[in-house]
Amino acid sequence: MSKQPVSVSRFTRLIHPMPAFLVTCAGEDGHANAVAIAWLTPVSINPPLLAFAIRQQRYSYRLLQENPAFVVNVMAYERAVEVLFCGRCSGRDVDKFATASLTQVAAEAVSIPAIGEALAHVECEVEAEYPAGDHVIVVGRVVAAAAEEGVLVEGWRDLVTAPALFHLGGSRFTTTSGEVSEPDVGLD
SS3 readout for 90-108 = CCCCCCHHHHCCCCEECCC
- Given a cut of 70, the residues of the chain with pLDDT beneath it are 186-188
At residue 123, the pLDDT reads: 98
User: Could you give the CA distance from residue 185 to residue 74 in angstroms, rounded to a whole number?
Assistant: 20
User: Could you give the CA distance from residue 123 to residue 41 in angstroms, rounded to a whole number?
Assistant: 14
User: Could you give the CA distance from residue 178 to residue 172 in angstroms, rounded to a whole number?
Assistant: 12
In Å, how far are 14, 19, 53 from 8, measured between CA atoms? 10, 22, 19
At residue 16, the pLDDT reads: 84
At residue 186, the pLDDT reads: 66
CA 19-100-139 angle, to 5 degrees, is 40
Other beta carbons within 10 Å of 72 = 24
* Cut 0.85: pTM above it: yes
Q: pLDDT per residue over 134-181, tens digit each?
A: 999 999 999 999 999 999 999 999 999 899 999 998 899 999 988 999
For strands 180-181 and 120-132, give the pairing. Answer: unpaired
Q: Which domains does the chain have, with CATH numbers?
A: 13-180 (2.30.110.10)
Calculate the CA 39 to chain-centre distance. 8
Please check whether residue 147 is in contact with residue 153, taking contact to mean a CB–CB distance below 8 angstroms: no
For strands 172-174 and 180-181, give the pairing. Answer: antiparallel
At residue 187, the pLDDT reads: 54
